[in-house]
Chain A
Amino acid sequence: MKGKFDIDVVADSTITKRRVQRATMPDYAKMKKPDVKLVILGDMNVGKTSLLHRYTERKFKDTISTVGGAFFLKQWGPYNISIWDTAGREQFHGLGSLYCRGAAAVILTYDVTNWQSLAELEDRFLSLTDTANSDCIFAIVGNKADLTDPRALVEEEGEEEKEVVPQLSSSPTGPPKFRKQVLREDAMAFYSRILRYKLLDEATSLPAESMCFETSAKTGYNVDLLFETLFNMVLPSILKKESQSCSPTVDLEECREVKRTKAGCCT
């Protein structure tokens, strides 16, 4: 940082001819470049931020409405995977295409207790994925399963504070209060419609059963499964990209060792 302000300013009192143009900015713009991108889409409040948070921080905490977008870099084997959390608010809708551009996987998230949230995916969010890679993988995720499905109440990890487990009977967040509005079959039907929208052959695409998840960011139910299934599915896409960009010039910046044997193992 300090170096940046030490840029030699040639002009002292007279302006010399040596300087052609503004010194180009230091290359801070270059960051560790992710190998592959995952984008989480879905209406506001379905729990996108909570899902990402649960996966990365292993806990569930109060989120504030996401502004614009945020992302997280995950080291998966030798690869860097960026996961983008987007804002569901209508206001930020226009940014969706930008986020989805070049995505290898899109996680379309809805709230199992809210039929509208699934409808929104189809109406508003699906078209944003037009900019994603042609071989982009789609996952349909019904979050907040803890509200409707007793199975999702089982904590995935012991570290979570006990209090967040809703009591089946008395808790205001317990199942009696919430009806499951979206069944897994609905999500699977939606998945088929996505394939049709993308003009993909159902027979050669990933099957709906393995691409429709029901999760709970609150208890962690299926959260690791979701992300790690997708990570493994996008690996071929990374390898493809690598072989394509296999240029004769050596990129000195890219001094990463690719240990292919490690691919597929986590953390």
Chain B
Amino acid sequence: MSVKAFELVPAVERDLLMGDKARINIECIECCGKHLYVGTNDCFVHHFLLEERTTPKGKLAFCAQKLLHKCLGLKKPVNELKAASALERLIVLCDSTVTVVDMVNLEAVSSGGARIKGVASFCVNENPVNGDPFCVELGVIATKRRTVQIYMVYEDRVQLVKEVSTPEQPCAVCLDGYFLCLALSTQYMILNYNTGASQDLFPYDSEEKKPIVKRIGREEFLLAAPGGLGMFATADGVSQRAPVNWSESVIGAAVCFPYVVALDEGFVTVHSMLDQQLKQTLSFRDGHILQDFEGKVVLASTKAVYVLVPLPLERQIQDLLAGHRVEEALTLAEGARRNIPKDKFQIMHRRILQQAGFIQFGQLQFLEAKEHFRKGQLDVRELISLYPLLLPSSSSFTRCHPPLHEFADLNHLAQGDQEKVRRCKLFLVSYLREARSTEVANGCREDVDTALLKLYAEADHESLLDLLASENACLLADSAPWLEKHHKYFALGLLYRYNGQDDAALQLWVKVVNGDLQDSTRSDLYEYVVDFLSFCPNLDLVWKYAEWALQKDQKVGVQIFTRRTVSDDQAGQMNPDSIIKYLHKYQQATLLYLEHLVLERRVQKEKLHTHLAVLYLDRVLGLLSQSPSPAQEVAEAREQLQKLLKESNLYRVQLLLGKLQDTELLLERATLHGKLEEHDKALHILVHQLKDFPAAEGYCLWASASRDEEHRRRLFHLLLGVYLDPDAPGDERTVAAVDLLNRHAGAFDAAQVLRLLPEGWSLQLLRPFLSGALRGAMHARRTSQVALGLARAENLLLKHDRLKYRGGPVFVSEKKGCQLCHNTFTEPDCVCLPGGVPVHTHCAAQRARDSPRKRPSANPSNHT
């Protein structure tokens, strides 16, 4: 409860009215602009001028100046007063008689024409159907008869226009248009005085309790209902608003939107028509009259007059908000929508929504808060600014004034409750994330993104990196210290990068990798940096950090160069030669880089191949020189060396051969000899020195691959020769020779072999070879016979075709015309079209040109 909607301000004090005369009481009042009329029980009418003043303390006060008081001379109380300002008349009910007096001098007007007798009560139609501006329509309840009369009051006379009877004696009346709203003795009813149609409203015992009939707007009335209710009813007899629950003993009621003000014996109560709630209670004793005049609510005891001054709506709303009564405040604001110019309302409404949002935010009702922030189009920075240090120091934002909330900052709000702080921060994160994707953040993206970055950093939130890796407006100057504070060096590097400061980013990352700074965001930061360098377009930076990267790990570091796309080489700085030169110190890196060039990119340069081969060789030699030499590694290193030696044709064989001269790398030497076509030397090494017969055999296959049959045969014969060398006999070689023959029968010239073989070898021994050779020879013979036959057949076919096409002789004469140009032939040269038609050679050529796809199918032939 307790909105302060009204303030009770004294208007006319007792002294001005009756002084200390105890018997004199106020009976009725009328207020019209600044004019206040008071009727008393001693038949006086007092006329005051009521001026509004503001006291030095800023309070509203009234100053009443008595203009006149006049006795009507009837010694009866003045029951009712109504002003008709357009007529300058005051309508007075006294002693059951309505009279009309001058508003200024209070003198009765003219003769007895302006008077109505036998009146119990009357009311003025505030919404008359008759539009005459110089008369006033009265609804009059007659004292005895069950009738209501309608009168027109003119400047100097009154005129009865209608009389309607009622089922019971009426005791209170109100008029709107043609509608009379009446309190009868047992019920309320609506009566249309024009048509006579009536509509019962609801029962009410007017004898027991004073009825109240109060017009509150077009065709709508407020009525006192049983059970202490203020009921609303329209002229149609329906209720469109929920009733308010005032008290059982209501004396008077008034409406001052959105409030219903009611007076009972001890209190003035204020209910909202919007939510039916009791909003304010003012204690007021001896209350006698409560009426509203043009929105001014006037209250009188028997001795003095007061004004209930409504507080400005915004003030009331602020009071409600101050009491955290968000719903009520919003209801009040929205209820006033129609009474306030649209743009003004929007501004006010928005502000209230924002305030409401902050109240709910303070109560951690984030869902509701968000909704109100959204509806109120809150500047996000208002919210951000609650969180200390989140707004960039460069932000131009200042909180709106007067403030939207009571919080200095988040700490003030949370009062040390860390859980609260945490939840508020979580809310802000989600709020800002949403704001980023809408236009809410327009115009303050930097503030929003920077704040979000700070929140992420602080909370160790994984989205920090996403934020920095995507489009963002985080302010570097403001974010950097924050990220440093939270050891988010990797993120800071990303931010530097985003701001084009790659060098700063690298410096930072290097420090983290080196362990000078602690940030565990990426355990593979070193690899990340290498990767970064491999793409970095700034070559100065690459050279600057390559050294560090290589020192750390050559194998990884060299990726700076190997991963680089080839087109980057154009700068010249990054050509393989300078890189190799640069890598000179780093043997492993050099090797990997050369491998990359030679094996992956297949760069065909002698220098590179030779260099790689030498490095391979050096590595093998290096390994071999260790003792004991690591067998596995040696094997692998040699494998690589051999592969290169075999596959590359570019390296300088002599150079390598020289290097290999005194080593035990026989297989490699054999390969090198092979490269030099010194097959006998190679085979000698393999057979005699290495005694590796499969290798020798393999050598022959390798050395003859991609060469012709003949070459291969030569090699095999050479090997056979070596095996069967009579100068160096050996059983094993004999076996090898047999095996060789049996396995590669086809590779030998069998006749030549038979001549070479020692006499004593059994046929059985060489069976596979011989049958293979025989079959081979047979096969070759038959194959060539078939080929011969086929060739002959083809020849025959061609001949047949030729004869067919040739046809008979073609005759060309000077009289004969060319089929194409129809000129005669002057020379014997001609072209023969299919069917033996002779045409000029140039015509045929022309035709061939014109229809390139339809070439003349006949073979051009010359005939004389």
Contact = CB atoms under 8 A, between A and B. Distances in A.
Tell me if chain B binds chain A.
Answer: yes
A30 B32 contact: no
A232 to B, nearest CB: 23
Contacts of B256: 4
A13 interface: yes
B33 A15 contact: yes
Interface in A106-154: 131
A98 B245 CA distance: 17
A101 B257 contact: no
A256 interface: no
Contacts of B323: none
Interface in B197-215: 200-204
A97 B200 contact: yes
Contact of B242 (A5, A9, A37, A70): A70
Given A5-B310, A27-B217, A68-B243, A94 B202 contact: yes
A34 B242 CA distance: 13
Contact of A15 (B104, B220, B310): B104
A18 B239 contact: no
Contacts of A131: 237
A220 B336 CA distance: 35
A12 interface: yes
- Of A21, A67, A131, which is in contact with the most chain B CB atoms at under 10 Å from its CB? A21
B136 interface: yes
Interface string B118-137: 00000011111000011010
Interface stretch (B221-229, B481-489, B546-554, B572-580): B221-229
Given A7-B295, A31-B240, A94 B204 contact: yes
Contact of A29 (B217, B231, B243): B217
Nearest to B340: A3
Contacts of B136: 20-21
Contacts, number: 158
A183 interface: no
Contacts of A27: 217-218, 338
Interface string A29-53: 1110110010000000000000000
Nearest to B259: A1
- Of B204, B217, B335, which is in contact with the most chain A CB atoms at under 10 Å from its CB? B217
Contact of A20 (B133, B239, B340): B133
Contacts of A10: 33, 85
B34 A12 contact: yes
Contact of B124 (A18, A22, A29, A99): A22
Interface string B323-350: 0000000000001101111000000000
Contact of A95 (B217, B225, B340): B225
A261 B38 CA distance: 61
B312 interface: yes
> In the complex, which range does the number of interface residues on chain B fall in?
35 or more
A11 interface: yes
B364 interface: no
A31 B241 contact: yes
A23 interface: yes
Given A1-B313, A19-B85, A98 B227 contact: no
A91 interface: yes
A34 to B, nearest CB: 8
Interface in B286-315: 293-295, 310, 312-314
- Of B33, B216, B312, which is in contact with the most chain A CB atoms at under 10 Å from its CB? B33
Contacts of A34: 240
A245 interface: no
A131 B199 CA distance: 11
Contacts of B217: 25-30
B309 to A, nearest CB: 9
Contacts of B257: 1, 4, 25-26, 28
Given A3-B340, A25-B216, A98-B238, A70 B86 contact: no
B88 interface: yes
Interface in B18-66: 32-35, 49
Interface in B338-383: 338-341
Contact of A1 (B86, B240, B336): B336
Contacts of B125: 21
Contacts of A21: 84, 86, 124-126, 128, 136
B656 interface: no
Contacts of A17: 86-88
Nearest to A85: B242
B103 interface: yes
Interface string A75-111: 0000000000001010110110111011000000000
A24 B244 CA distance: 23
A94 B49 contact: no
Contact of B220 (A11, A24, A29, A68): A29
A37 B245 CA distance: 22
A22 B49 contact: no
A3 B336 CA distance: 9
Contacts of A97: 200, 202
Contacts of B133: 20
A95 B202 contact: yes
Contacts of B32: 11, 15
B131 to A, nearest CB: 9
A5 B5 CA distance: 13
B72 interface: no
A20 B231 CA distance: 30
B236 interface: yes
Given A1-B336, A68-B231, A13 B218 contact: no
Nearest to B274: A31
21 contacts: A1-B258, A1-B339, A3-B341, A7-B294, A9-B33, A9-B34, A11-B85, A13-B49, A18-B86, A20-B134, A23-B294, A25-B257, A28-B217, A67-B243, A68-B227, A68-B229, A69-B239, A94-B203, A95-B226, A95-B229, A95-B243
- In order of increasing CB-CB distance, the 5 nearest A-B pairs are A29-B217, A11-B33, A1-B313, A68-B243, A94-B203
Interface of A: 1-5, 7, 9-13, 15-31, 33-34, 37, 67-71, 87, 89, 91-92, 94-95, 97-99, 101-102, 131
Interface of B: 32-35, 49, 84-88, 103-104, 124-128, 133-134, 136, 200-204, 216-218, 220, 225-229, 231, 233, 236-245, 255-258, 276, 293-295, 310, 312-314, 335-336, 338-341
